Structure 1
């Protein structure tokens, strides 16, 4: 019998939905609330009875449950031209994964011991690849042999890769073959760089070519088969880690300046994953599709959770356009989704609502019945209507297999999409203070139309739970309780391993004494929280105080049931020339709810009294607006006409008018409203430097890209309503 208390079912019979968290007596101080803890479970630390304290324990526990069954799987590629993948998954068993992690780990351990690798402050190992079984097996080897993993986003630009390799003093990188030429070209700029391990087996010709090229750069190039043979020939026992031993440096996206390397220990990640397993019940098959980047904390912790219960993980082909195909082929019981995936399903489902005749009427009636049930009971399923209506519009016909569906919202500032009308919005003040009717309807409709308990948050979740977290707390802070009928707009109470408090933000008029609900910056503490940023004392002190509290930069309020709502951001606040403070991200959130907006960047200057914006319009909505203005039809695919229209002052004024309507509807103050805009059809992307790999706006880089246009707008006479 397992000695670990995992997973932990949700205690429905003893849980009081009216009191989901409580303040710990005697913890209130001036300028802050007391410390809130969950009421459903005892507080969880790495020292709690039955708690996971290191990552190798989670693998070992999963191995016991998984036995000889499948562990990691992939779809074999059957042709290159055209690119085609098999209609089945091939699997590595748990014993095979264990043998491979030991072989890789033994080889790395020996190479570092002999001085072939290393030379930096830490024994760091880079992994640069799309998700695949080898990525995960390498990471497991690092857990078991006292090495520090550094995951690199597959979409990282060359400057970020160079920075991270140098900053983390990496001597060996596991990479896919397509990244090897770039790494060899970069080698002279990385003093510690000594070895590249190709994550696939190289042909003899490729091996000779890369080996010769590597010798020129003083970098050894081998493939993973060679490394595993090396480790198998000289095996080393697993090196038992401690909870305070560093496991990974997880580099955040870096919306301003260089990425920050969050230091996460074995105890941090084990505690975070264990907390995620509270409210989770294992019944029958346990399988998940991995497609979100393993360099991101969400996917890493999700994988730990699935592994710890003996489940199997199938890895996607890496092509977003094949994601639904991957789902159909694998048929997982768990999906960690992101909004754009669920919205694609939702769009297909809602198409049925406009079907002619009886079919459309039946769908709409069934939808209304389920919405009413959701609002009153929190239950998203219906015995009759799921079977005869919604089963056909579930996730690509997989509704009968999916037991668990989660949605990654990422925190207060990632995008959500109301797919019914193409409108984008964020989990921000509008969401948390009560959604507008149309947005609320979309979220409720999406929940019931997909036929399952959809949860929103990061990372692995449980039936019906919205989660909130960030890299610095292992993606683990709060979660919504299952079947909570009044939870919409909240992110729930703290998870078992976390305690939270709210700190006054005087510049934004948020106070712990606010009535009826205390408000302030969200601070979180627990064994899941990181120990600092690598080689970055200034940012560490700003994010992690002397009492161990992580300052999230998010502003929240605690409701009467002990649930947290995210209402604003502390970061990206600036002061206008007249002395008014504005929260740029919050203003972006408001304007982004306008159906005309695909993407939007708000810019302010402390020497100016008003705000500007760069607007990327939605092609469908923009084409409709331009058609009306010009009195002739222009289609969304007429790129030439749309690109010409962005320079028309009449079009610019019409777009600004629509944005102003949105701002007025959301009751923005006058100084918070955008006064002038630059319109472009060029999307903000990772490739052009405007977005991070996790799709957050890089403010400095985006301003630099549009500097000439924005500065020119400020050179115009100030709008009448903005004069000092």
Structure 2
């Protein structure tokens, strides 16, 4: 694998970045783009991404964002649905378009962000009639242009942001300029920002979370240094041994993260401690417990932070003070451990306490509505519970070209736009919200991937081994598990094939070797059914009882009663995750 020796960061002033954005926007106009006509950015997080985005905003051109990790068909869907003719991408992702161009007949121009080490050798294999242009050429055209900026209004579309899609086809979420400005205000009102801050940017800018936080930096004068997951710390896989990763050079004070990354940091800390001598383990445990006790009482431990936790803190450059976690729930255990060992404050959405997401911010109203079907009511004690409905200028205009879906989840009332989140919450005495469940059978795993449980079940039910299946996803974990009612004969045949002795059906269901074999069969079947890896259950429990309406586990139409199944098998579910 290619290893890098990284240089120093080279900074652009805000005035320089602003001029580059202006020139890029003008360059697009010179190439034929017009206000109100959509443009796609399909690229990984880097400085050109933000320069391009703000150039696009300056010309009132709606920006379409698509995850760089999506499959070809999903990317083509977003490009075709928004009718774009110009795509902005990177040299690294350019080869992906050889295939995609055959699926996107309207695309006529591809602008690519250049690479420091490689150049585009030739354009062979790309569809005829498609113009492939360097990012710097667009900047040059813009610098020579006399086109005026065309500033947007509050109700103009800023972004059509494509989600990763729960049912295979991503949905475009329409964000107006007033939505962005309102959310920036809410963020600034709820977060301490200092002149000395430096942000390390690495999460996908195609996600609203990273785009929002980096926009706050531009608003408040905080410099952004770009990084990547493979070059961030000294021990990252693409950094040459003995040389410095991005964080050691940049010395950032704040970063965004998703729980999966924080969990990996947590596990690496535990691993490091477990490999130390018994004396080191005892000292670390004493220091950790001591700090936890005093932190919970509101005190700091500067001496321990310098001596015991200093080495861990230096992993991220030594100056990190704030980590903003979003995209999925962060487990209280990881939250507290990272806080203590990295000597930082972690904000989960808008709150620093463990397992909660904060009170309503200054630009947003919330309503709590009872969800009778799930037995969550606003009259519940000790805390009112129900679905959270959000309202205010931060609420999206809806889904792009999906009016029925928009009407299902958005509505206007009391002079405001409202959104039915589908999140089931409880409101604590101090006004802080804790998310406790999800109304739909859509689960967001820890890395931020959505799993539509019904879709996965429908695919896996077509496996001959499966008579019935209930997939379960815990949003604080990065994989799914499943309760499987197996077909008796198929299970016996599989046992025979694997050389497992002839046993009763009940004993076969309890056999750990057979359980592993069924997991593999489901994985193979899931791949054939075009399920993603994260959608396929990593552990299962073979259930001997057939689910029927009189057991209360399925409806009269044999639809799964998820809450009842989860309640009945909660010990099995806990065991699967523990294993």
Same fold, judged at TM 0.5 (above):
yes
Task: Tell me whether 1:599 sits opposite 2:456 in the alignment.
Answer: no
Task: Tell me whether 1:193 sits opposite 2:107 in the alignment.
Answer: yes
The 2-side partners of 1:443 and 1:342 are apart by 8
Q: 1:293 to 1:611 in 2, by over 3 A?
A: farther
SS in 1 for 2:382: coil
User: Which among 650, 653, 670 is matched to residue 510 of structure 2?
Assistant: 653
Name 1:588's counterpart in structure 2: 473
Task: Tell me whether 1:565 sits opposite 2:434 in the alignment.
Answer: yes
Shift of 1:564: 0.9
SS in 2 for 1:562: coil
Name 1:239's counterpart in structure 2: 150
The 2-side partners of 1:563 and 1:397 are apart by 30
Shift of 1:184: 4.2
Shift of 1:140: 1.0
Cα deviation code 1:277-324 (max 9, x no counterpart): 123334342211111111011110010011111121111145374599
The 1-side partners of 2:285 and 2:479 are apart by 31
Q: 1:514 to 1:653 in 2, by over 3 A?
A: same
The 1-side partners of 2:238 and 2:502 are apart by 39
Shift of 1:542: 1.2
TM-score where L is the length of structure 1: 0.62
The 2-side partners of 1:655 and 1:167 are apart by 47
Q: 1:569 to 1:221 in 2, by over 3 A?
A: same
**Superposed counterparts of 1:239-318, under 5 Å:** 239-317=150-228
Name 1:445's counterpart in structure 2: 337
SS in 1 for 2:7: coil
Shift of 1:651: 9.3
**Superposed counterparts of 1:403-552, under 5 Å:** 403-408=321-326, 410-411=327-328, 440-455=332-347, 466-467=348-349, 479-480=350-351, 487-547=353-413, 548-552=417-421
The 1-side partners of 2:364 and 2:407 are apart by 20
Q: 1:174 to 1:611 in 2, by over 3 A?
A: farther
What is the root-mean-square deviation in Å for CA atoms of aligned residues? 4.1
Shift of 1:681: 10
Name 1:382's counterpart in structure 2: 301
Moved more, 563-572 or 445-454: 445-454
Shift of 1:449: 1.7
The 1-side partners of 2:116 and 2:295 are apart by 54
Cα deviation code 1:672-711 (max 9, x no counterpart): xxxx9634696999999544xxx9x55xxx59xx9xx99x
Task: Tell me whether 1:97 sits opposite 2:17 in the alignment.
Answer: yes
Task: Tell me whether 1:159 sits opposite 2:73 in the alignment.
Answer: yes
Is contact 2:21–2:51 with CA below 8 Å preserved after alignment? yes
Name 2:519's counterpart in structure 1: 678
SS in 1 for 2:357: coil
Q: 1:189 to 1:303 in 2, by over 3 A?
A: same
TM-score where L is the length of structure 2: 0.76
Is contact 1:201–1:224 with CA below 8 Å preserved after alignment? no
Is contact 1:267–1:527 with CA below 8 Å preserved after alignment? yes
Q: Which runs of 5+ in 2 are unaligned?
A: 240-244, 443-452, 458-467, 488-497, 551-579
Which structure is richer in relative contact order (CA contacts within 8 A, separation 6 or more)?
1
Q: Which runs of 5+ in 1 are unaligned?
A: 1-80, 417-426, 428-439, 456-465, 468-478, 577-581, 605-609, 613-643, 660-675
Is contact 2:20–2:139 with CA below 8 Å preserved after alignment? yes
Cα deviation code 1:114-154 (max 9, x no counterpart): xxx47xx9511111111111111100101111111112212
Q: 1:268 to 1:205 in 2, by over 3 A?
A: closer
State the aligned residue count.
501
Q: 1:278 to 1:571 in 2, by over 3 A?
A: same
Q: 1:684 to 1:177 in 2, by over 3 A?
A: farther
Q: 1:689 to 1:332 in 2, by over 3 A?
A: farther
Is contact 2:42–2:66 with CA below 8 Å preserved after alignment? yes
Q: 1:449 to 1:369 in 2, by over 3 A?
A: same
User: Which among 306, 310, 313 is matched to residue 391 of structure 1?
Assistant: 310
Q: 1:508 to 1:645 in 2, by over 3 A?
A: farther
Name 1:433's counterpart in structure 2: none
